[in-house]
Structure 1
Amino acid sequence: MEIQPRENQEEGEKSPESKDLLTSRTASTLCISSRSESGWSAPPLNKWDVYHKPVIVLSVGGAVFLFGVAITSLTCLTMDKNTTMAANTTTKNPTKEIFKLCGPAFLSLGLMLLVCGLVWIPIIRKKLRQKQKYHILQSIKSFFLNR
Structure 2
Amino acid sequence: MEGGPENIPLGVCTVSQSRDQLTPPSRTESTVFSLSRSESAWTAETSPGKCEEFWFAIHLMSTGGSFLACGVIISGLWFAGQCQKATSILGPVLLSVGLMVLVVGVVLIPITKENRKRTSTKKPLGHYRPPAFNL
Tell me how large the CA RMSD over aligned residues is: 2.5
Distance (whole Å) between structure 2 residues aligned to residue 114 and residue 45 of structure 1: 24
Distance (whole Å) between structure 1 residues aligned to residue 121 and residue 43 of structure 2: 14
Aligned residues: 85
Give matches, 1:11-90, under 5 Å: 43=44, 44-78=47-81
Residue 114 (structure 2) pairs with residue 126 (structure 1): yes
TM-score (norm 1): 0.51
TM-score (norm 2): 0.55
Structure 1 alignment gaps of length 5 or more? 1-40, 80-94, 143-147
Distance (whole Å) between structure 2 residues aligned to residue 105 and residue 132 of structure 1: 41
Post-superposition, which runs of at least 4 consecutive aligned residues in structure 1 deviate over 4 A? none
Alpha-carbon offset, residue 42 of structure 1: 6.5
Q: Residue 138 of structure 1 aligns to a residue in which SS? A: coil
Distance (whole Å) between structure 2 residues aligned to residue 111 and residue 47 of structure 1: 24
Q: Which structure is higher in helix share?
A: 1
Cα–Cα, structure 1 residues 77 and 42, in superposed 2: closer, same or farther, change >3 Å?
A: farther
Aligned to 1:102: 90
Structure 2 alignment gaps of length 5 or more? 1-41, 129-135
Query: Per-residue CA shift, 1:29-81, capped at 9, x if unaligned?
Result: xxxxxxxxxxxx872322211111110110111111011011111111217xx
Distance (whole Å) between structure 2 residues aligned to residue 132 and residue 57 of structure 1: 25
